[in-house]
Structure 1
Amino acid sequence: MTTADLTTTDRIRRNPGHHRVLTGDRPTGPLHLGHYFGTLQNRVELQRLGVELFVVVADYQVLTDRDRADNPAEHAENLVLDYLAAGIDPDRATVFAHSAVPALNQLLLPFLSLVSVAELGRNPTVKDEIAHSGRSTVSGLMFTYPVHQAADILFCKADLVPIGQDQIPHLETTRTVARRFNERYGPVFPQPEALLSTAPLLLGTDGGKMSKSRGNAVPLGATEDDTARLLRAATTDADRRISHDPEHRPGVAGLLQLAALCLDRTPEDVAEEIGDRGAAALKRLVIEAVNEYFRPIRARRAELAADRGFLRDVLHNGNEHANKVADTTLAEVREAMGTV
């Protein structure tokens, strides 16, 4: 079998030190259980395997769909807190903020010259974000969001990007930017691959996608009492027989999925256990499963939260390393473009 025949997962396991991953989140509020099972768990596993992680606190990207960033420094610290509580090791991962790495953002200028307005306008993810923004006008930052993401990924020459299916168009923009830059100026950048998440979509307490902005999420750092309160209020239905039917019973299916993830079982198995005891019994089981699973993570989070200086140090050290990497990449770009 050749290297080309191996799956991405096989190649990571065979030679984890050969890969670099870029991932991150916007600091708009606390991370929730959907983030944990959708991305955080996978980041910790990649780190455990020996893959080099760059984790961006995407504070500039907060401005894509709002007039100003609300308490950006506080949200950035809390994001670092959630990362560390979930298992990200700052001695093995680079956690940094957009706004603290000027050379990364300077890459946006030459990168914008490599894509057309029409190509940006056709990006289905951007079109969907614009449609759901509720705004009558669109900022240039939102319109060029995929190119800014390209700068995030390519400044550290990441070759793997963990994403969901809906973010593939963004990664294609990054690959286009890398390819066109290399064709025009010479080989500088890799064309990163998608590391598609295998985690199931975790629904919120209203049966829709769990989201900070929709008010249907259980925060990672919620207390056990708050977790119980939020989950007791989750949308279900009047059918006492519990079954896993995501299409027709999204609220019940979401609770079953959450319990299954915490208990390492299948949603169908959990549904069979509840049987005809109804939604109240299901919610009791989910509350107990969630609180038991996240108890050590929340204890670690509370311990870390008591030392805000340490969180700031983690971000400061990550910013320093990211700046060194970005400065080196920008110097290569200038050399290739002949602008030194």
Structure 2
Amino acid sequence: MTAKNDTQKSEKNPVGNPGKYPNKKRARLTSVAFVESPLQFLSALESHEPAEDLLIRARANAKGMTSFLDAFDPAWLPDNVRLEREGAKPGVLRKADFDRIYLGDACSGQVHKALSLAYLERRLPEVVILDDGLATYSTIEILTAKRGPLVRPRQKLKASRTVMAAHVADRLRGLATTGRLRWHTALPVSKDLRRAFLKTGGEITRHRFEHLQTLPTGGSHPRDNPVIGTALAADGLIDAAAYRAWIGDLVDAHGSITYYPHRRETDAFLTDLARDDRIRIKHVGLPIELRLVNLPPGSTIRSLPSTAAVSLAVLNPDVSISVTEIPAQWWTGASPDSLRESLNAQTVKADVES
């Protein structure tokens, strides 16, 4: 699976490391991917190249990952890809000399520790940032800044973790200046964000879930009226009662819906939804991108602003994605203005320059 490049650097140098192998053609790449969510896992599969031996290290104890990994058929892995449920343990980076490291969550404390311990005085190989939902935009903005730690929005870190997060951020910024930092994404990328990242020396490559679309994961019927759940209420960012009322309005308008819960939604909230016999709750195990990839043309998916809405628009352009902007009165005040503005600014339309 060959990535489409925003620049030509990757085409000239498959290892993404100009200078280290200027004239030497590598037979194969050896790579490792650290993933902590189903979307990060799928992004790693889309990033994999034919001449690459990829080890995916999935953090099985992350929320929703065990059920996803249990439901994922190993036969769906591309050739030369293997899976281990060990996460970003430092040992794997000390024992092997990888040509490339894929990061699903560049703000993960486990990832920071692994990179810091293994590469404190060693030269980092090429690093590829994978999609981690809409939070990916925050990661890229941090890396385009001149300084600052890699921290998730709203995250509060101890002093020692802040130092480590700042160290990893500086190392990645240093990689960008030598052409060894890349972002592989299916998300729309604004002109300003693209320009800022490329200005650092980083590269952007694109995918459209080409591997995912080959998988026999089934689909859904347009009469299902699929609705994508959100974790915003469960995380305390929006009012749960207002969100519940929005779902009720959809049911009143369409007669029945199939609700696909987010992996962080609470059992109590879903039990309340299930009391309405017009709401069919579908626990998919696999990511919604896998379940709705084959939704028939003319179907409509309804959602609040979400990564899944963006992904499904990329996967199936013949399906309508109806995204409801989050009203100002829904917000609880637990999130910064920047996050609220960023979420409501998201679009499911592809970036014409990407």
Tell me the TM-score normalised to structure 2 length: 0.32
Q: Which fold has the larger relative contact order, with Cα–Cα distance below 8 Å and residues 6 or more apart in sequence?
A: 1
Flag the structure with higher strand content: 2
From the CA coordinates, give the structure whose radius of gyration is larger: 1
